[in-house]
Amino acid sequence: MRCPNLRFYVTLFFCSFNANVAITGHWIDDNWELQEALLDFVRVIGTHRGVDLAPYVESCLERYGILDKLFCITTDNASNNDTLCEELSVSLEQTHGIFWEARSHNVRCLNHIINLAVQSFMDSIKSLVSEEEEDIDSNAELEEDSHGEEIRREGFAKALFKLRTIAKV
């Protein structure tokens, strides 16, 4: 069975400290198996603005003949990726007559979002600990458990106590 409407899902990974971008393609083959391939790994010359990055992606897709098969692009939450997708959308329409809507086809990387949320949560715990650590450590080293026995708060138990305090559970 041939799939004439084959679509490619592209992920972009920018490594800002050494100015490289990895472009990975993902697709379902004729046997309905997920395939992936590194399409390009290129050093980015100049700034990392979306306007400057879009031609790298477009050139890569054009080289493989898959401009008209692009479905989604997954990126992290950096604003330059929004601009990259908007610029790519404009170029695809103006240069190749391909309509590709950036807003609905730029997918945020869920792993990146979860990582940011966890880091933010951990930072809030650190600030809570630094503000209240003296009170917790000096005033209440021992706590009663559900059976009325005193237990020492340390390690995981201490962290759990702090989480329960934040959540008011």
Looking at the structure, do residues 85 and 139 belong to the same domain, yes or no?
A: no
pLDDT value of position 56? 92
* Within-domain flag for 84: yes
81: containing domain: 8-108
pLDDT value of position 54? 92
CB-based contact 8:27 (threshold 8 Å) = yes
The number of domains in the chain is: 2
* Within-domain flag for 118: no
pLDDT value of position 169? 44
pLDDT value of position 101? 94
- CATH code for the domain in which residue 65 is found: 3.30.420
State the DSSP string of 94-119: HHH-----HHHHEEEPHHHHHHHHHH
Looking at the structure, do residues 101 and 127 belong to the same domain, yes or no?
A: no
At residue 13's C-alpha, the angle toward residues 102 and 95, to 5°, is 40
Beta-sheet strand order (sheet of 106-108): 34-43, 20-28, 8-15, 70-75, 106-108
pLDDT value of position 153? 46
pLDDT value of position 3? 46
Looking at the structure, do residues 13 and 71 belong to the same domain, yes or no?
A: yes
Global model pTM greater than 0.85: no
Looking at the structure, do residues 103 and 136 belong to the same domain, yes or no?
A: no
pLDDT per residue, tens digit, the chain (169 aa), is 344 566 777 777 766 567 788 899 898 888 888 889 999 998 888 888 889 899 999 999 999 999 999 999 988 888 888 999 999 999 999 999 999 999 998 888 777 778 777 777 777 666 555 445 545 554 445 555 454 544 444 555 666 666 666 665 4
